[in-house]
Amino acid sequence: MKKCFYLLAGAALLLVACNPRVASSLVTAYAPLDFREQVIVLGLNETVPQDAEYLGEVKVGDTGFTTNCSYEKVLEEAMLEARKAGGNVLKLTRHRLPSALGSTCHRISANIYKTKNQ
């Protein structure tokens, strides 16, 4: 019985460890947006609209065992966090590329904003 428990716990840990680590820090949150709602992604050199309200930040990175961490996947995870906070604009503040000597994952940091125009 114990052997089965450890096997199931190990399998669950392995499944969770394969996904990128997501951490968010919110100062304000609204009702979550529907998953079909558009989230505008602003690049590192783009400016945030003047009417945007800052909601917080999100970081998506590597757990050390992450296997599914393409740029598209980490961006998708950040957009999901923005929707959960009620935000419709994601402003990238940092993008670290995979490297041979470091992480094999894309890692991003972004600020979450809410605008009325979107």
Name the pTM for this structure.
0.79
> What is the domain range of residue 27?
19-114
Question: Under 8 Å CB-to-CB from 84, ≥6 apart: which residues?
Answer: 24, 32
In a domain, 8, yes or no: no
In a domain, 10, yes or no: no
The region of weakest confidence among 56-65, 81-90, 102-111 is 56-65
In a domain, 56, yes or no: yes
Mean pLDDT of the residues in the chain: 84
pLDDT bucket at 8, cuts 50 / 70 / 90: low
Q: How many domains does the chain have?
A: 1
b/e per residue 76-86 (b: at least 16 CB within 10 A): ebbbbbbbbbb
For residue range 40-75, what is the model confidence (pLDDT) as tens digits?
A: 999 999 999 999 999 999 999 877 666 678 899 999
pLDDT bucket at 20, cuts 50 / 70 / 90: confident
Task: Report the distance separating Cα 69 and Cα 18, nearest Å.
Answer: 9
In a domain, 52, yes or no: yes
H helices present in the chain, as ranges: 2-17, 71-85
In a domain, 9, yes or no: no
In a domain, 11, yes or no: no
